[in-house]
């Protein structure tokens, strides 16, 4: 087991959490009131106080039907179909004298048709039932008294149970994190099943419970959690934990959600707070809907049309029948003597010709019923079932790496697969592997790294240059370290000490080794260090620093330790840096920073982030290499690489003391705007930076992506890619993955025009925003004119739009024009787009 070889470390305040000292403000004052009334007796679910609360169990059901609801719900589903309603009426009428044939010949086809379709529903629901059984019978370790943990089925969990979840296991319910195998009670969580994010989330328990690392610690553990009632919001949580008569506020940082997975952590201990249908993932889910495909709805319209013809035929026939019946008996003479109009029932009575016509109309509706194809539905159901079997067994849709075949959970919508006209896709982790490799860097205005990327390879292919292919193959042979595909003899193997700006290179590599949230893991058998990071980028940077002579090897409660290459002696020396603060990365900040104190007592702010936010934070005397660095990151962007700018500055004691007081107060509050407050204070100190250089990492395309996109294009399916990359990077990656092809005409809508840049510098922000919107609108109108005037011979259109322009394009008065243009283009790339914009585009 990996945990037996792992050295224990302290990882305090990695994200500047302040767990045990937070104050009750804002939302926490609501605890105990409406919507915040849940009380959880931790480690005592069988107590009288807990039992009277009568919370739901952890058994979950995702089936569409139960034994009680199957017949009413399934019959309702069947009689939503127009043809079935018609044949039901005919079946009822077949038991009356109106019927032109026996009841059996009418009822039997209807029973067979409905029975076959309901049988298919039973089969598909049974598959869901089997999945429910598998999930409910999974096992997890639960504290059963005397400090002992034993395996219990998920379905038997109760609110208040203390569970022990081990590495790579799913959380069985919504838990409050009490402690973990790490000294500072942190853990990594994968939330792919909840939000599709592949990056790991870091959670940390309260200080009050963080020291309970062994099973025996829970022998006498008792606590009461008061928190919000079950709700669907995945990203907020308000609660408090009462332990030994002390109150501690709980935040989303302690909440572990059902269906997320424990990663890179040996085990955690948690208290169950929400079970079964009360968990947030189930609060967000809806029951299996009654889905009807476009083909089925079209069939209904055809049936309506045929039914209209049937009614018309029956109506005309009944009119003529009524007229003929009225004239059947005149002056004692019978025209249709074989119907005995002188001695008959209402069906042929000349004196009641109108009634006879109505009865004939009903008989005709039944008699001409063969116009309505009752077997059509059954034929289509059989075809759908066979299609779903073929999908499940299709080897081309089998993914060998994870041993996962395609699975059609319902056959109702099979034909919809052939009617998809647009696919919206993220880039990272979907088109690419989300496996980063450090390949190039720019330090002190000099570019290092001789690697060739897939995008450069694709560019070489477009230009017909075979040389690039050969270089790439050589590079691939040399790359043997995961996350590191860098080759440049000028700075490898300690050669950087001979470079002109060796002092800048030293600071650059030191920043890579210190400015991160990664955790080192030492294998005691061979002494090798591996890193556990929240994202592949972070891991790639730390690995690159290690390979270039700056090995991060230990993180203690308040420090980071690095083996550094001493440029004077040429030997490795141990240096320790006091870790004072971590200013976290977020999608809005687009950067992260750490504040450390060196062994000499110097206070350093080390920062890395996107070029869009870092260049504007440079000091006047920190821009020495700005122009060269900008040129290099543009080259890297053209090569399809992800870039980050690295910068630093020294802080004086007075400035840091003031910042730390404000920052600590903001982080310790638990108000709704806590993060915004902390970001505002961090903004004040992340300025006047000195530029060191830039990193470039490659996120390789997944195997078969260009071929897949090619096939989609041949099928007439349009692909929209939403990415945070720069426009140049996005365009070149578009070519590499066949999203953009030779002969495509590009419609580029950008806010990076000279006029836009001039407007942004103006003091009147509202006027600048209005002018930018007008510029975007003008570009959209020009694109729409090009679309309207284009024809196939000129080639398809591709729309490329950046994040700022997208903000205006998604406003209510412009959105329709943007969508018209986008829908008319064969490919759409939204670059520099934020997660919120990705969601807005998807919903539009």
Query: Do residues 341 and 263 both lie within one domain?
Result: no
Question: In which region does residue 448 sit, left (phi positive, over 0), alpha (psi from -120 to 50) or beta (all else)?
Answer: beta
Distance CA 783, CA 800 (A): 11
Q: What is the CATH number of the domain that holds 715?
A: 3.40.50
Q: Is residue 521 part of a domain?
A: yes
Give the whole-angstrom CA distance, residue 231 versus residue 238: 11
**Alpha-carbon distances of 825 from 700, 773, 775, 798, 803, rounded to whole Å:** 26, 22, 20, 5, 18
Report residue 616 as tokens.
């504007």
DSSP code at position 285: -
Q: What are phi and psi of 443, to 5 degrees?
A: -130, 125
Final residue of a structural domain among 699, 727, 751: 699
Q: Which pLDDT does position 666 carry in this prediction?
A: 78
Looking at the structure, tell me whether residues 820 and 745 fall in a common domain: yes
Which residues are part of a known binding site for ATP? Answer: 426-428, 538, 585, 608, 642, 723-725, 832, 838
DSSP 8-class letter at 617: G
Nearest in space to 452 (alpha carbons), one of 435, 474, 431: 474
What's the confidence (pLDDT) of residue 473? 44
Q: How many domains does the chain have?
A: 5
Final residue in a domain of this structure, among 699, 732, 765: 699
Q: What is the DSSP string of 55-70?
A: ---S-----S--TTTH
In a domain, 474, yes or no: no
Tell me, yes or no, whether 577 and 604 share the same domain: yes
Pairing mode, strands 162-166 and 139-143: antiparallel
Helix (H, G, I), strand (E, B) or coil at 475: helix
Residues 669 and 556 reside in one and the same domain:
yes
Residues 628 and 739 in one domain: no
The boundaries of the domain holding residue 815 are 703-843
First-residue to last-residue Cα distance in the chain: 48
The pLDDT, as a whole number, for residue 357 is 86
CATH of the domain at 260: 2.70.150.10
- Is 533 within the bounds of a domain? yes
Q: What is residue 347's predicted lDDT score, i.e. its pLDDT? A: 67
Q: Establish if 398 belongs to a structural domain.
A: yes
**Are 594 and 656 part of one and the same domain?**
yes
Distance CA 635, CA 565 (A): 30
Q: 137 and 155 in contact (C-beta within 8 Å)?
A: yes
- For residue 519, what is the domain's CATH number? 3.40.1110.10
Asked if 716 and 665 sit in the same domain, the reply is: no
In three-state secondary structure terms, 159 is: coil
798 and 827 in contact (C-beta within 8 Å)? yes
643 and 661 both lie in a single domain: yes
Residue showing tokens 């990695």 = 14
Q: Known binding site for Mg(2+): residues? A: 426, 428
Q: Tell me which of 161, 259, 278, 426 is the catalytic residue.
A: 426
Distance CA 689, CA 537 (A): 22
Instruction: Decide if 426 is catalytic.
Output: yes
434: alpha, beta or left? (left if phi > 0; alpha if psi -120 to 50): left
- Looking at the whole model, is its pTM more than 0.75? no
pLDDT on residue 1:
38
Is the CB of residue 672 less than 8 Å from the CB of residue 416? no
Over the chain (844 residues), the average pLDDT of each successive run of 10 is: 40 42 52 73 80 85 87 86 81 82 82 84 86 92 90 92 93 93 85 73 87 88 90 83 86 90 90 92 74 78 88 90 75 65 66 82 84 77 84 86 81 77 80 85 92 79 56 47 87 89 93 89 79 83 92 84 86 90 81 92 93 90 92 87 92 91 75 73 90 91 83 85 79 82 82 67 71 86 83 75 84 86 87 70 65
Structure tokens at 600: 């000499």
Residues 273 and 298 grouped into a single domain? no
Report yes or no: 279 and 257 within 8 Å, Cβ to Cβ. yes
Q: Please, which residues have CB within 8 angstroms of residue 505's CB and are 6 or more apart in sequence? A: 443, 444, 491, 496, 499
- Please tell me the distance from the alpha carbon of residue 743 to that of residue 697, in angstroms, as a whole number: 30
What token pair was written down for 796? 């398809």
Rg (CA), the chain: 35
Residue 42: inside a domain: no
Three-class DSSP category at 447: strand
Q: Cα dist. 46→143, 157, 171, 273 in Å?
A: 12, 11, 22, 14
Same structural domain, 355 and 459: no
Residue 40 lies in a domain: no
Residues 757 and 835 both lie in one domain: yes
Let me know if residue 117 belongs to a domain: yes
- Do 455 and 540 belong together in one domain? yes
Which burial class, exposed, middle or buried, applies to 568 when counting CB atoms under 10 A from its CB (0-12, 13-18, 19+)? exposed
Q: How far apart are CA 95 and CA 102, in angstroms?
A: 8
Which of 231, 252, 284 terminates a domain? The answer is 284
At 425 the three-state DSSP class reads: strand
445: which residues sit within 8 A by CB, 6+ positions away?
A: 501, 624, 625, 627, 628, 629, 693
Alpha-carbon gap, residue 606 to 596, rounded angstroms: 8
What is the residue whose two structure tokens read 């077997």?
Answer: 375
Sequence-distant (≥ 6) Cβ neighbours of residue 34 within 8 angstroms: none
**Residue 147 located in a structural domain:** no
């Amino acid at each position: 087991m990996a945990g037996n070889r792992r050295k224990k470390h302290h990882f305090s305040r990695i994200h500047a959490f302040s767990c045990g000292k937070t104050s009750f403000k804002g939302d926490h004052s609501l605890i105990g009131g409406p919507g915040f009334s849940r009380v959880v007796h931790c480690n005592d679910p069988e107590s009288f106080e807990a039992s009277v609360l009568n919370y739901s169990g952890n058994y979950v059901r995702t089936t569409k039907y139960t034994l009680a609801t199957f017949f009413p719900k399934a019959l309702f589903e069947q009689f939503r179909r127009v043809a079935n309603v018609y044949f039901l009426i005919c079946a009822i009428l077949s038991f009356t004298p109106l019927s032109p044939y026996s009841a059996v010949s009418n009822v039997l086809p209807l029973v067979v048709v409905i029975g076959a379709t309901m049988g298919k529903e039973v089969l598909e629901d049974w598959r869901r039932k089997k999945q429910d059984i598998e999930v409910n019978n999974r096992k997890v370790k639960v504290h059963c008294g005397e400090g002992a943990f034993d395996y219990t089925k998920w379905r038997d969990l109760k609110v208040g149970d203390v569970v022990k979840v081990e590495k790579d296991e799913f959380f069985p319910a919504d838990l409050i994190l009490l402690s973990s195998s790490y000294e500072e009670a942190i853990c990594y969580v994968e939330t792919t099943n909840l939000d599709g994010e592949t990056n790991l989330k870091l959670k940390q328990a309260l200080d009050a419970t963080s020291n309970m690392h062994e099973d025996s610690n829970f022998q006498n553990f008792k606590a009461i959690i008061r928190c919000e009632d079950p709700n669907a919001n995945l990203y907020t949580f308000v609660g408090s934990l009462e332990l030994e008569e002390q109150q501690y506020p709980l935040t989303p940082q302690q909440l572990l959600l059902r269906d997320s997975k424990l990663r890179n952590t040996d085990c955690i201990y948690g208290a169950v707070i929400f079970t079964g249908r009360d968990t947030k993932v189930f609060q967000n889910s809806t029951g299996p809907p009654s889905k009807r495909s476009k083909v089925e709805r079209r069939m209904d319209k055809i049936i309506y049309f045929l039914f209209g013809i049937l009614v018309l035929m029956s109506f005309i026939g009944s009119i003529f029948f009524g007229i003929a019946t009225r004239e059947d008996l005149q002056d004692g003479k019978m025209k249709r003597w074989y119907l005995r109009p002188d001695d008959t029932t209402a069906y042929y009575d000349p004196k009641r010709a109108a009634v006879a016509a109505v009865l004939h109309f009903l008989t005709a509706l039944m008699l001409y019923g063969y116009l309505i194809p009752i077997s059509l539905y059954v034929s289509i159901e059989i075809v759908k079932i066979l299609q779903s079997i073929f999908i499940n067994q299709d080897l081309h849709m089998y993914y060998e790496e994870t041993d996962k075949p395609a699975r059609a959970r319902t056959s109702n919508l099979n034909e919809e697969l052939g009617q998809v006209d647009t696919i919206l896709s993220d880039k990272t982790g979907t088109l690419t592997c989300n496996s980063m490799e450090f390949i190039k860097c720019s330090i002190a205005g000099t570019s290092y790294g001789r690697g060739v990327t897939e995008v450069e390879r694709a560019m070489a292919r477009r230009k017909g240059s075979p040389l690039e292919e050969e270089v790439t193959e050589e590079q691939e042979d040399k790359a043997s370290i995961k996350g590191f595909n860098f080759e440049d003899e000028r700075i490898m193997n300690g050669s950087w000490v001979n470079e002109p700006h060796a002092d800048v290179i030293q600071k650059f590599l030191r920043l890579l080794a210190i400015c991160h949230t990664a955790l080192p893991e030492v294998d005691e058998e061979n002494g090798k260090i591996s890193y556990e990071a929240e994202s592949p980028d972070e891991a790639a940077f730390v690995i690159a620093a290690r390979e270039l002579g700056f090995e991060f090897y230990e993180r203690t409660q308040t420090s980071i330790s690095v083996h550094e290459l001493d440029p004077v002696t040429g030997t490795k020396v141990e240096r320790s840096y006091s870790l004072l603060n971590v200013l976290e990365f977020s999608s809005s900040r687009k950067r992260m920073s750490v504040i450390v104190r060196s062994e000499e007592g110097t206070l350093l702010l080390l920062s890395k982030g996107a070029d869009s936010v870092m260049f504007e934070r440079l000091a006047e005397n920190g821009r020495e290499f700005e122009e060269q660095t900008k040129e290099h990151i543009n080259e890297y962007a053209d090569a399809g690489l992800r870039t980050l700018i690295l910068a630093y500055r020294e802080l004086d004691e007075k400035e840091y003391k003031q910042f730390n007081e404000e920052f600590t107060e903001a982080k310790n509050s638990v108000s709704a705007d806590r993060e915004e407050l902390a970001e505002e204070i961090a903004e004040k100190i992340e300025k006047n930076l000195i530029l060191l250089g830039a990193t470039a990492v490659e996120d390789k395309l997944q195997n078969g992506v260009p071929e897949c996109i090619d096939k989609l294009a041949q099928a007439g399916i349009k692909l929209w890619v939403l990415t945070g990359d720069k426009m140049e990077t996005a365009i070149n990656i578009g070519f590499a993955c066949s999203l953009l092809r030779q002969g495509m005409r590009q419609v580029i809508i950008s806010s990076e025009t000279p006029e836009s840049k001039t407007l942004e510098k103006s003091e009147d922000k509202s006027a600048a925003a209005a002018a930018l919107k007008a510029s975007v609108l003008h570009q959209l109108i020009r694109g729409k004119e090009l679309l309207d005037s284009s024809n196939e011979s000129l080639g398809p259109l591709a729309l490329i739009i950046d994040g700022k322009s997208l903000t205006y394009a998604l406003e209510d008065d412009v959105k329709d024009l943007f969508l018209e243009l986008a829908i008319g283009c064969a490919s759409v790339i939204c670059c520099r787009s934020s997660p919120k914009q990705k969601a807005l585009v998807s919903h539009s």
